[in-house]
């Protein structure tokens, strides 16, 4: 594994642009490597000096003696430095310099040229705009991140890949204060060459890494990361992500900050679910959740998750349970213990609950004793017989020593009720990566041809996917003759948003009315469609997202549902079972699921339609950009498409 070795455990590193002024950022890597005990050779490269911070320096990498595995480039002329590195046979160049994809269109072009050249030269790139790499167990601090000013940083079994260089320091610093250490940390920068997906693959192979944490602003290599996530799952290494861009404002910011497509948050949620990547909502969850995940796999459940709580602080426990309730998690039981009961009883209660099939996790909410009497409530947590079932602690006071103890023993412990609930919710929502290999999802053979016809009939395409379509006919002036039974609807063929434009007439009872409406529309060719009524109008959709790829969507139809954004999204294609689970998540579709004794709609037919439309993902070369059946009428028996819209890629 030459790449992993050069990246994380280089025998020698060149610091291109190393400064002799210790106050400069560019002096940091040399200081940090020494400070944290790097055992390899450090080779400062400086244009004007023969010695930098007491070490022999060279003008060019090529001038330095011996083999050099990894160079950290901190100069403006990255291109020249790359050539220099290549001449010396450097395997990996980490680029701290910016001015590439982070800097507008010219920067994007510059980055593309740099990557192309690196490929030719056989040098792998980390960055540009990367703060470098840290391997704590290996004593490699090849970074400009100031967090390495700290004298001692604990090693751990979590490795971090961060799209934000500064946040790498944040997580390391906050974790260290709690005794939560890291193995490897990578600031991935612009991901011009080495991306999150490839890094995850390297970490899957890394014996020091048990949990992989991601700090993300976007996803640039969705397919590769998805493959890597499957490998991680197979290797029993959970991946947890914190991703910016929950709000529209956050999405815009991520876009402007990274120069990358940000992707709709709902699409990314679907992507992470499909990859088996847990997503946490709070920053501290990303630091605190790894011990909850280490060595665990997602567990399928057929009921809501249940937590048993053992507590010495009713208010503190309630602060967690209140938020668990917002995630639909249930309380299996609340056990109030007092110090008078003693540590033995506390431990016995924990062990009894850990053995109880009625709950899926045990939460110990510890009050002031965590600060002043850890022997009462913290020691029993440490001593309790471990089981597959998670035992997590929330400490209400400022109790850093107890947090350290728990961290050292690998017990998940949380500083805030919110991160505790967020982490438990993410854990319970965790699924294995979805399998897309299902043979049942083959594409009807006629579909690709129909799509590529000169002017495709989208109703025909939708019908050929297996979605029932309202009986219809194209009628011509002046007779407008057709065989569709009345009442019918009359629609213009040339408009996408027909309703707003007056291009639709509904409930036409006979030929006379039809002719009248047709003349008013003033079109030679019009569509006549049988009027369909049902219990509800749904919308089903397909979208080839530029960030995460094909998506399937189902939601309530109509204006109100549009306002409420009541939709469920998953990566496409989906099976009928998966579509049924999506339908379950659409709140408004309760009206066809038996809400208030309303008649039940044909959920199976709706699921079949969702799955059918999602098969656009299977068309070779994926020509469809977006497709929508809106409305899809849901009846007691079957569904029927009343309108269909398909947009192809350019």
Name the residue with tokens 């497509």: 261
Site membership for its own copies, residue 250 (CB under 8 A)? yes
Near its own copies in 190-229, by CB under 8 A: 215, 217
Q: Shortest distance, CB of residue 375 to its own copies, whole angstroms? A: 12
Rounded Cα gap, residues 41 and 258, in angstroms: 33
Judged by CB under 8 A, how many residues of this single chain contact its own copies?
A: 81
User: What token pair was written down for 496?
Assistant: 């996408």
Of the residues 27, 57, 254, 632, which one makes contact with its own copies according to CB under 8 A:
254
Site membership for its own copies, residue 561 (CB under 8 A)? yes
Of the residues 166, 385, 449, 507, which one makes contact with its own copies according to CB under 8 A:
166
Mark out the alpha helices in 213-276 (DSSP H runs).
Answer: 222-234, 248-258, 265-275
Site membership for its own copies, residue 30 (CB under 8 A)? no
Site membership for its own copies, residue 496 (CB under 8 A)? no
Site membership for its own copies, residue 628 (CB under 8 A)? no
Site membership for its own copies, residue 245 (CB under 8 A)? yes
Of the residues 108, 299, 331, 547, which one makes contact with its own copies according to CB under 8 A:
331
Of the residues 4, 11, 25, 487, which one makes contact with its own copies according to CB under 8 A:
25
What separation in angstroms does the CA of 213 have from each of 166, 200, 275, 619? 15, 9, 14, 34
Near its own copies in 591-610, by CB under 8 A: 591, 595-598
Site membership for its own copies, residue 373 (CB under 8 A)? yes
Q: Shortest distance, CB of residue 513 to its own copies, whole angstroms? A: 20
User: What token pair was written down for 479?
Assistant: 């007779």
Of the residues 225, 556, 569, 611, which one makes contact with its own copies according to CB under 8 A:
556
CA 391 and chain centroid, separation: 26
In terms of CB distance, is 56 or 564 closer to its own copies? 564
Q: Shortest distance, CB of residue 35 to its own copies, whole angstroms? A: 13
Per-position DSSP letters for 261-293, written without gaps between them: ----HHHHHHHHHHHT-EEESSHHHHHHSHHHH
Of the residues 5, 155, 173, 383, which one makes contact with its own copies according to CB under 8 A:
173
Q: Shortest distance, CB of residue 558 to its own copies, whole angstroms? A: 8
CA Rg value for the chain: 30
Of the residues 197, 290, 588, 631, which one makes contact with its own copies according to CB under 8 A:
588
Rounded Cα gap, residues 611 and 465, in angstroms: 9
In terms of CB distance, is 144 or 627 closer to its own copies? 144
Site membership for its own copies, residue 248 (CB under 8 A)? yes
Nearest Cα residue to 315 out of 332, 334, 288, 339: 334
End-to-end CA distance of the chain: 41
Per-position DSSP letters for 117-139, written without gaps between them: HHHHHT-EEE-SS--EEEETTTT
Site membership for its own copies, residue 507 (CB under 8 A)? no
Site membership for its own copies, residue 163 (CB under 8 A)? yes
User: What token pair was written down for 7?
Assistant: 């990246």
Site membership for its own copies, residue 4 (CB under 8 A)? no
In sequence order, the 6+-apart residues with CB closer than 8 A to the CB of 267 are 543, 545, 547, 548, 551, 569
Site membership for its own copies, residue 564 (CB under 8 A)? yes
Torsion, CA 526, CA 530, CA 535, CA 536, rounded to 10: -10
Of the residues 156, 181, 276, 367, which one makes contact with its own copies according to CB under 8 A:
367
Rounded Cα gap, residues 539 and 56, in angstroms: 68
Q: Shortest distance, CB of residue 400 to its own copies, whole angstroms? A: 8
Near its own copies in 260-299, by CB under 8 A: 282-284
Q: Shortest distance, CB of residue 338 to its own copies, whole angstroms? A: 9
Q: Which stretch binds its own copies (CB under 8 A): 71-79, 327-335, 403-411, 637-645?
A: 327-335
Q: Shortest distance, CB of residue 288 to its own copies, whole angstroms? A: 11
Site membership for its own copies, residue 47 (CB under 8 A)? no
Site membership for its own copies, residue 369 (CB under 8 A)? yes
Site membership for its own copies, residue 547 (CB under 8 A)? no
Residue-level length of the chain: 650
Rounded Cα gap, residues 215 and 211, in angstroms: 13
Of the residues 234, 235, 236, 372, which one makes contact with its own copies according to CB under 8 A:
372
Of the residues 454, 483, 563, 637, which one makes contact with its own copies according to CB under 8 A:
563
Near its own copies in 398-417, by CB under 8 A: 398-399, 416-417
Q: Which stretch binds its own copies (CB under 8 A): 245-253, 289-297, 459-467, 508-516?
A: 245-253
Site membership for its own copies, residue 559 (CB under 8 A)? yes
What separation in angstroms does the CA of 440 have from each of 436, 443, 447, 577, 615? 10, 9, 16, 11, 11
Q: Shortest distance, CB of residue 33 to its own copies, whole angstroms? A: 17
User: What token pair was written down for 323?
Assistant: 């938020």
413-414 and 472-476 beta bridge pairing? unpaired
- The values of phi and psi at residue 274, to 5°, are -65, -30
Q: Shortest distance, CB of residue 405 to its own copies, whole angstroms? A: 17
- Residues 68-97 vs its own copies: string with x where CB under 8 A? ------------------------------
Question: How many Cβ atoms are within 10 Å of 244's Cβ, its own excluded?
Answer: 21
Site membership for its own copies, residue 529 (CB under 8 A)? no
Question: How many Cβ atoms are within 10 Å of 54's Cβ, its own excluded?
Answer: 10
In terms of CB distance, is 255 or 386 closer to its own copies? 255
Rounded Cα gap, residues 516 and 251, in angstroms: 49
In terms of CB distance, is 45 or 176 closer to its own copies? 176
What separation in angstroms does the CA of 574 have from each of 224, 552, 570, 610, 611? 20, 7, 7, 8, 5
Q: Which stretch binds its own copies (CB under 8 A): 147-155, 267-275, 478-486, 600-608?
A: 147-155
Site membership for its own copies, residue 314 (CB under 8 A)? yes
Q: Shortest distance, CB of residue 434 to its own copies, whole angstroms? A: 27
Of the residues 566, 584, 604, 626, which one makes contact with its own copies according to CB under 8 A:
566
In terms of CB distance, is 4 or 495 closer to its own copies? 495
In terms of CB distance, is 271 or 459 closer to its own copies? 271
Of the residues 79, 266, 352, 368, which one makes contact with its own copies according to CB under 8 A:
368
Rounded Cα gap, residues 192 and 427, in angstroms: 32
Rounded Cα gap, residues 38 and 232, in angstroms: 29
In terms of CB distance, is 40 or 557 closer to its own copies? 557
Region of residue 189 (phi > 0: left; psi between -120 and 50: alpha; otherwise: beta): left
- Residues 107-146 vs its own copies: string with x where CB under 8 A? --------------------------------------xx
Contact in structure between 492 and 523 (CB atoms under 8 Å): yes
What separation in angstroms does the CA of 166 have from each of 124, 147, 186? 23, 9, 11
């Amino acid at each position: 594994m030459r790449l992993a070795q050069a990246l994380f455990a280089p025998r020698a590193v060149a610091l291109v642009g190393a400064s002799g002024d210790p106050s400069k950022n560019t002096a940091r890597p040399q200081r940090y490597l020494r400070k944290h005990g790097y055992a390899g050779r450090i080779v400062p490269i400086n244009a004007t000096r023969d010695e930098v911070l007491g070490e022999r320096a060279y003008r060019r990498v090529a001038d330095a003696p011996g083999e050099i595995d990894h160079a950290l480039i901190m100069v403006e002329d990255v291109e020249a430095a790359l050539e220099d590195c290549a001449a010396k046979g450097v395997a990996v160049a980490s680029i701290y310099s910016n001015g590439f994809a982070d800097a507008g269109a010219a920067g994007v072009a510059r980055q593309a040229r740099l990557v192309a050249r690196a490929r030719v030269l056989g040098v792998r790139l980390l960055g540009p705009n990367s703060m470098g790499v840290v391997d704590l167990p290996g004593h490699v601090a090849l970074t400009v991140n100031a967090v390495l000013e700290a004298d001692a940083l604990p090693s751990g079994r979590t490795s971090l890949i961060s799209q934000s260089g500064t946040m790498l320091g944040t997580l390391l610093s906050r974790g260290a204060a709690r005794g939560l250490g890291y193995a490897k940390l990578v600031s991935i920068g612009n991901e011009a060459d080495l991306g999150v997906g490839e890094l995850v693959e390297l970490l899957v192979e890394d014996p020091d890494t048990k949990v992989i944490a991601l700090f993300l602003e976007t996803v640039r290599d969705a397919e590769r990361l998805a493959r890597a996530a499957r490998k991680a799952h197979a290797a029993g290494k959970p991946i947890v992500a914190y991703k910016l861009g929950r709000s529209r404002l956050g999405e815009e910011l991520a876009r402007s900050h990274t120069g990358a497509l940000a992707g709709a948050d709902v699409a990314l949620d679907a992507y992470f679910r499909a990859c088996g990547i847990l997503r946490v909502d709070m920053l501290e969850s990303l630091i605190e959740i790894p011990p909850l995940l280490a060595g665990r796999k997602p567990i399928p459940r057929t009921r809501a998750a249940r937590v048993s709580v053992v507590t010495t602080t009713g208010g503190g426990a309630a602060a967690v349970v209140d938020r668990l309730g917002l995630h639909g998690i249930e309380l299996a039981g609340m056990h109030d213990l007092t110090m008078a009961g003693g540590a033995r009883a506390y431990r016995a209660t924990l062990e009894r609950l850990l053995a109880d099939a009625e709950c899926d996790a045990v939460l110990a909410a510890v009050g002031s004793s965590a600060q002043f009497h850890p022997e009462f409530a913290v020691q029993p947590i440490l001593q309790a017989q471990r089981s597959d079932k998670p035992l997590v602690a929330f400490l209400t006071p400022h109790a850093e020593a107890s947090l350290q103890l728990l961290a050292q023993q690998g017990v998940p412990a949380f500083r805030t009720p919110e991160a505790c609930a967020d982490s438990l919710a993410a854990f319970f929502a965790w699924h294995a990566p979805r399998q897309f290999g299902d043979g049942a999802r083959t594409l009807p053979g006629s579909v690709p041809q129909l799509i590529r016809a000169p002017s495709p009939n989208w109703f025909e395409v939708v019908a050929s996917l297996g979605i029932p379509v309202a009986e219809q006919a194209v009628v011509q002036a002046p007779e407008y003759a057709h065989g569709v039974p009345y009442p019918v609807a009359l629609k213009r063929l040339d408009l996408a948003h027909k309703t707003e434009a007056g291009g639709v007439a509904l409930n036409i009872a006979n030929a006379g009315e039809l002719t009248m409406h047709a003349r008013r529309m003033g079109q030679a060719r019009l569509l006549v469609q049988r009027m369909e009524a049902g219990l509800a109008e749904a919308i089903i959709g397909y979208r080839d997202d530029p960030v995460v790829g094909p998506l399937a969507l189902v939601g309530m139809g109509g204006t109100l549902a549009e306002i409420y954004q009541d939709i469920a999204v998953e990566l496409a294609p989906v099976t009928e079972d998966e579509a049924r689970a999506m339908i379950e998540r659409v709140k408004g579709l309760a009206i066809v699921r038996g809400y208030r004794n309303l008649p039940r709609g044909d959920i199976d037919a709706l699921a079949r339609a969702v799955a059918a439309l999602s098969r656009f993902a299977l068309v070779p070369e994926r020509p469809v950009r977006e497709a929508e059946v809106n409305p899809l009428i849901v009846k007691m028996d079957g569904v029927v498409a009343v309108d269909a819209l398909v947009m192809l890629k350019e």
